[in-house]
Amino acid sequence: MKELLSSDLYCPFSSHINEHVDVLEEYALEWVMRFNLLNNKPSYKRFCKSKFFLLAASAYPNCDLEELKIGNDWLSWVFIWDDQCDMSEFKKQPEALKLFQQRFIEILKGSEPTRQDIPINHALADLRQRTRERTSEKWFNYFLYCFEQYCHGCVEEAAIRAQGIVPDIDTYMRCRRFSVGGYLFLTVSEFCNNYMLSDVLRNNEIVKKIELITIDILAWCNDVFSASREMESGDVHNLVLVLHYLQQLPLNKAINRAADMHNEKVKALIDLEASIPSFGEYLDVELAKYISIMHSWISGNLNWYSLTGRYETIEKLDIVNCEVHFQLSNKQISPLYL
């Protein structure tokens, strides 16, 4: 099914993989084990079959090994925390999530973890130190801003789950653009490529729109592949499921519609890039590099879904049975607008 879905998602950007990918595979597991982030057999198996190292190697194809390791560890850290937000009791406890994430911000701002801190906090402190050693204060402050926005998106999603409702499309998009971590990982891409977007371009409306479209593409690609997993867990923060509920579409048509929306976004991105005016030779070269970084994320992300086992359901349900399972186990969810 993954191969079928990936063939329906349009991506005209070439995919490349970092030359250090083999080194990264062994390193990636060692890092999460060192900080005891996989404290039971299910989490260990889930991490191994997810193959986050392949996503890192595809999203950051041109960076050096040390930057690639740090970029990979940010991916691992965020995905492991994402599982806590989506699959544990925290998924309907926004205030509890907020408390944990406040501690994350404290650590990123320099607070040292103590013996009372959980393992993920110690791993975060390690990431902070290694990242700060190789980048500027200005870049790190912008990264911290993006991290706070990501945390806010996770809390908003938990608040919606706690209400037992399906968000309308605008509310879904507002939350999803932050919770998917798109801005966060585009910023990590800058770090991995020893590059920082200038203020002139970062504050430009066209560049902001290119970023926004890129993040929608990343989020909707994820939603197409993760729909069955989220049905199984009773989640509704997924474009496929929002369309299924609010537009009363059968599940297969909701998937097709989400894929069409993804493809329309890719074409809109290409059209927008073709209309970019010249900012002068220096800025044009800088923007071309940033666009190339975004293209690597789009193609690398799509390529990863054909390789990862992260979104396989435990029962390996087919699409029809998934819909029945979801509807029977989630009668308490009310398809209301916020």
* Helices within the chain (DSSP H only): 2-8, 21-34, 41-50, 52-59, 65-87, 94-108, 119-132, 137-163, 169-179, 182-192, 199-202, 205-233, 239-246, 251-274, 281-305, 319-329
* pLDDT value at residue 7: 53
Q: To which residue do tokens 């406040």 refer? A: 102
Q: How many residues does the chain have?
A: 338
Looking at the DSSP bridge assignments, the partners of residue 334 are: 165
Q: What is the pTM of this model?
A: 0.90
Q: 77-108: buried (b, 16+ CB within 10 Å) or exposed (e) per residue?
A: bbbbbebebbeeebbbbbeebeebbebbeebb
* pLDDT value at residue 225: 94
d(CA 86, CA 216): 20
Q: What is the pLDDT along the chain (338 residues), one digit of tens a residue?
A: 454 455 589 999 999 999 999 999 999 999 999 999 998 898 899 999 999 999 999 999 999 999 999 999 999 999 999 888 877 787 889 999 999 999 999 999 999 999 999 999 999 999 999 999 999 999 999 999 999 999 999 999 999 999 999 999 999 999 999 999 999 999 999 999 999 999 999 999 999 999 999 999 999 999 999 998 888 888 889 999 999 999 999 999 999 999 999 999 999 999 999 999 999 999 999 999 999 999 999 999 999 998 999 987 543 333 333 333 333 334 343 433 33
* pLDDT value at residue 86: 74
Tally of CB atoms within 10 A around 298 = 23
**Cα–Cα–Cα angle for 66, 47, 33, nearest 5°?**
60
* pLDDT value at residue 317: 30
* pLDDT value at residue 153: 94
d(CA 332, CA 222): 25
CA 171 from centroid of its chain's CA atoms: 18
